[in-house]
Structure 1
Amino acid sequence: MGGDTITITHEIALGLWAQAQLFLTGLLRPWNAYQVGIAVSLFIAAHVMAQVFGPMAREWMRHREGWPKWRMRILVMLHRRLRLIFFVAMIWPLVWVMREVTWPSRSYILAAVGNLAFAWLVIAIATRLIANNFLRSMVRYAGWTWVTLSILNLTDEAQAILDSAAFEVGETRLSLWLLVQAVIVIGVLFTMARFTSTATAAQVRKNDDISPSMQVLVVKFMQVLLYGAAFFIGLRTVGVDLTGLAVLSGAIGVGLGFGLQKVVSNLVSGIIILLDKSIKPGDVISLGETFGWINSLGARYVSITTRDGREYLIPNEDLITGQVVNWSHSNDFVRLDIYFGTAYSDDPHKVRKIAIEAANGVERVLSSKPAVCHIVGFGDSSVDYILRFWIRDPTGGLTNIRGNVYLALWDAFQEHGISIPFPQREVRMLGDTGVELPQDG
């Protein structure tokens, strides 16, 4: 097979050299030389115009405040290709005029250059729809190469060279030509899949009848379905036999199952979380020492932002196997408890009333769900109470609202003469005369 490839490549190279000699000989004719000179002059003129009008266009774009982001991206993309745009805008009117006033053969080279420049411009603009930088570059350069070969009528020779470089795997023949086709087709299908996925995700997120967790599940499912279908359809389109690929993927799957147990466990746990709706974006949860609200649900982890601005990435498996406190699972109401004590000389009925009024006076405490205060014990130095109240915005924090209620209690007790005792201790010295020395502890 290697000898056949070398022979085919040698024959094609000789043919290309003969065509190159014929083209160079044709340049000796006056009109052909004139066309090359005109094309070079137009390119220089386009370069000068881009240098002159480029800064003006950039300054104009800076003052377009409030324009949609997609429109600004289009303007930036066009600005980067001003030279090519000016060149195409100048060469085609010239070609049309020359076709009207002279022989078509005298504008043949200019028409080929114009077709080439226009095709390059269209490909450069169209490939901007591909989000992945590597894939976009691959598709762009492959498109430019193929268009150039097509305009120069060299596609058959290029295809023969790429097809000759091949090897066989079982009954499947793989060649560079097949690889090029696969990259182009899969790139186009992936672009279409991304566009469809983005449009579908936008429509799903606008539907208020679907819960946030189900929205994430539907979007993830659509992405896997669309990209998977694009990949396999692309391979089938270029003629790759997927039977062997299925066997190979099964073997790889078994190996990954043993080596990536944690990853698979997190993926399955993520699906379970989305299905049972135990947590969803926006919920406030506690997991161990971590307290915060959920930003997003990923395939492998859940993003949680705490009150101090830290973002924790919690594996999905921990949320399934661990004890999670969801402060807003079924509703947003959260009851908080604080403990305090007063002196035995203070009337407990009065203390309870003052504590409840103080809690209800705090801004975030709900008045629709009344606060309550109960005696929970008689301590060594104080009567112990528990004060319970409700809030509806756990995302606003829990420590700060407890602190505000404590401050309200302090102010209310100071106003009504309620004392907060501290432990009293007596110290007796052995062998003394019986004089007691009281000492605060």
Structure 2
Amino acid sequence: MDRSTDPFADFLISLEGIWINAMAFLSGVIQPGWRQNQVLIVLGLALVAWMLHRVSDKAIRNWVRSRQGWAKWQLRVVVQVRRRMGLIWFALMAYIVYEVMQSVTWPSRSYLVGLAATLAIVWVGIAFAAQLVRNRPLRRIVIWSLWIYATLYFLNISDDVASFLDGLAIEIGEFRLSVLTLITASVVIGALFTVARLVSQATASTIRKNEEISPSMQVLAVKGVQLALYGFAFFMGVKAVGIDLTGLAVLSGAIGVGLGFGLQKVVSNLVSGVIILIDKSIKPGDVISLGETFGWIQTLGARYASVVTRDGKEYLIPNEDLITGQVVNWSHSNDFVRLDIYFGTAYSDDPHKVRKLAIEAASGVDRVLSFKAPVCHIVGFGDSSVDYILRFWIRDPTGGLTNIRGNVYLALWDAFKENDISIPFPQREVLMLQDSKLAVSRGARKSTED
């Protein structure tokens, strides 16, 4: 665009052009004639389309309720069609009326009807194409923006509006930023982001299907691809609209320093997440213990790891805590886990028999490994019992630890009951000496006399 002319004068000229076109159209509509007739036809078709929409909406609802076993994408298509039925009815009727008028009268007498039919068809296409945008608020913005642009384009006033928006600009030295530039940049970047999202989803699906890549490297590869694609889309969108980022280098540097101090924890979590993915110390599916939290890793994010416990609670643990804290990974190198339980029996029971019964009881419990046979040892002679430790192995810690311990304890209880093995508990005897009783009674008598 030629910048030698006065930008404010260009702004006034474009605004004047829009005003003249609007007044010319309104004057043609107010005066009786074919232009007014076409506007009335369009309004009548809109009213009929609205009534047909009310009737067809109920019919579609009843039809969908009679269907069963539909996939989610089919239901989404039906929902979108039901919402746009009024516009679809209008587009069909306007196109039919336009074709009829083209054959029975002069083409100029059906121009507005054809324009309305074209716009309705384009609006329907935009509404369905915008479903590629998953975010609902963003999807509505995209739909309305494309509707407005399509309307201006088919009304042949897009150039005047573009000149008007380009005149609304901020100029600082050589740097110039207009409303048109911002809108164009938003559209181009949004389109590139959509393409980047579709490509990243396809790439992520391919990476996750590759069983030769470990889960942690899959997450790292997916995050790397997403970062590269979105970064490339942003810079290409900025370059495509002609925005020079050189002038913003100093400002972006100052902002970066401020963000660096304010986002130390966030950056630390991001770096910790990358380290976790690279060294494979923790990966999705691992069973970990961190403090009082015991569960398995569901997802590894850029800032936190999602840990789901046996009671259904989901903890979002910052990646920095997984790096700096003491984490027990029950399934880091393999899935084998050894569990220990302690118990005691009476001194009158044969310890050889107790050990044999304990090993047999633990071996008969589900999930206890047989090729890593349980062992039982005496660990001490207590005040009222002989103390033992029973050790056994499992290979599915994701199935829980408390439940398997409880099952082994229950098996021990049953085995000891059947073989008359007693489990003692501490007992205390209190003896009152005779001299102590006399001293207590004398002291009480003397206090009474005083």
Match of 1:81 in 2: 84
Cα displacement (A) at 1:431: 4.4
- Amino acid in the other structure paired with 2:254: A
* Rounded Cα–Cα distance in structure 2 between residues aligned with 1:13 and 1:170: 25
Judged with a 3 Å threshold, the aligned counterparts in structure 2 of structure 1 residues 172 and 13 are, in CA distance, closer, same or farther, namely closer
Q: Secondary structure at the match of 1:223?
A: helix
Does 2:423 match 1:407?
no
> Which amino acid letter does the alignment assign opposite residue 50 of structure 2?
H
Structure 2 residue 43 is the aligned partner of structure 1 residue 23: no
Q: TM-score, normalised by structure 1?
A: 0.92
- The equivalent residue for 2:112 is 109
SS at match of 2:348: coil
Number of residues of Structure 1 aligned to a counterpart in Structure 2: 432
Matches within 5 A, 1:45-56: 45-56=48-59
- Aligned residue in 2 for 1:319: 322
Contact residue 342 and residue 421 of structure 1 kept, 8 A: yes
**Pairwise CA distance, 1:4:** 5.5
| CA RMSD in angstroms, aligned pairs only | 2.1
Distance 1:163 1:381 in 2: 92
Separation (CA, whole Å) in 1 of partners of 2:76 and 2:7: 46
Residue 170 of structure 1: CA displacement?
A: 4.3
Letter in 1 for 2:343: F
Map residues 146-295 of structure 1 onto 2, 5 A cutoff: 146-295=149-298
| 1:91 aligns to 2:94 (yes or no) | yes
The equivalent residue for 1:386 is 389
Report the CA distance between 1:62 and its aligned residue.
Answer: 3.1
One-letter amino acid matched to 1:110: V
Q: Deviations over 1:164-198 (max 9, x none)?
A: 11112442210011011011111111111111122
Does residue 429 (structure 1) correspond to residue 425 (structure 2)? The answer is: no
Q: Say whether the 8 Å CA contact 1:139–1:183 is kept in structure 2.
A: no
- Give the Cα separation in 1 of the matches to 2:213 and 2:67: 37
Segment of structure 1 superposing worse, 91-100 or 220-229: 91-100
Deviation at 1:125, TM superposition (A): 1.8
SS in 2 for 1:97: helix
Counterparts in 2 of 1:170 and 1:232: CA distance versus 1, 3 Å: farther
Gaps of 5+ in 1: 434-441
- The letter for the 2-side match of 1:377 is G
TM-fit CA distance, 1:134: 3.6
| SS of corresponding position for 1:337 | strand
- State the shift of 1:29 in Å: 4.9
Quote the residue 1:309 is aligned against.
312
- Residue 20 to residue 254, structure 1, CA distance change in 2 (3 Å): closer
The residue type paired with residue 26 of structure 2 is L
TM-score, scaled to structure 2: 0.91
| Percent of matched pairs sharing the same residue | 64
Q: Quote the Cα distance in structure 2 between the aligned partners of 1:207 and 1:151.
A: 48
What is the one-letter code of the residue matched to 1:394?
P
SS at match of 1:305: strand
In the other structure, the counterpart of 2:439 is: none
CA contact (8 A) 2:340 2:389 kept: yes
CA distance in 2, matches of 1:128, 1:240: 29
CA distance in 1, matches of 2:249, 2:221: 26
Deviates more, 1:392-401 or 1:157-166: 392-401
Say which SS state the counterpart of residue 373 (structure 1) adopts. strand
Write the mapping of 1:65-76 to structure 2, written as runs, cut at 5 A.
65-76=68-79
Q: Between 249-258 and 112-121, report the one with greater CA deviation.
A: 249-258
The offset of 1:107, in angstroms, is: 1.1
Q: Using the TM superposition, give the Cα deviation of residue 322 of structure 1 relative to its aligned residue in structure 2, in angstroms.
A: 0.9
Question: Measured at CA, do residues 202 and 68 of structure 1 come closer, stay the same or move farther in structure 2, by a change above 3 Å?
Answer: farther
Residue 419 of structure 1 deviates from its aligned partner by 1.3
Indicate conservation of the 8 Å contact 1:197/1:222, yes or no: yes
What's the CA shift for 1:432? 5.4
1:145 to 145, 148, 152: 148
Matched AA of 1:215: Q
Contact 2:193 2:230 in 1 (8 A): yes
Unaligned segments of structure 2, at least 5 residues? 437-450
Q: Deviations over 1:176-226 (max 9, x none)?
A: 110110111111111111111222222222222222111111111111111
- Pair 1:316–1:209, CA change in 2 (3 A): same
- How far off is 1:279 after superposition? 1.0
Q: Is 1:381–1:423's contact at 8 Å kept on the other side of the alignment? A: yes
2:16 and 2:410 map into 1 onto residues whose CA distance is 93
Alignment match, 2:443: none
Query: In 2, Cα distance between the equivalents of 1:368 and 1:286?
Result: 26
Contact between 2:18 and 2:161, CA under 8 Å: does it hold in 1? no
Question: Which letter maps to 2:22?
Answer: A
Between stretches 208-217 and 19-28, larger displacement belongs to 19-28
Where 1:194 maps in the other structure, the secondary structure is: helix
Partner of 2:445: none
Alpha-carbon distance in structure 2 between the residues aligned to 1:207 and 1:192: 23
Q: Distance in 1 between matches of 2:103 and 2:417?
A: 101
Structure-2 separation of matches of 1:245 and 1:427: 87
- Contact 1:172–1:240 (CA under 8 A) maintained in structure 2: no
Specify the alignment match of 2:334 in structure 1: 331
Q: How does 1:361-372 map to 2 (within 5 A)?
A: 361-372=364-375
Match in the other structure for 1:356:
359
Distance 1:50 1:106, change over 3 A: same
Contact conserved, 1:189 with 1:230, CA < 8 A, in 2? Answer: yes
Q: CA deviation at 1:104?
A: 1.2
Report the CA distance shift for 1:347/1:94 in structure 2 as closer, same or farther (over 3 A).
Answer: same
Q: Deviations over 1:317-375 (max 9, x none)?
A: 11111111111112221110001111222111111110011111212222232111111
For the 8 Å contact 1:5–1:164, the answer to whether it is kept is: yes
Q: Once the 2 structures are TM-superposed, how far is the Cα of residue 292 of structure 1 from its aligned partner?
A: 0.8
Q: Matched residues in 2 for 1:181 and 1:157: separation?
A: 15
| CA deviation after TM superposition for structure 1 residue 53, in Å | 0.8
Greater alpha carbon shift after TM alignment, 329-338 vs 124-133:
124-133
SS in 2 for 1:168: strand
Is the deviation greater in 49-58 or in 111-120?
111-120
SS in 1 for 2:164: helix
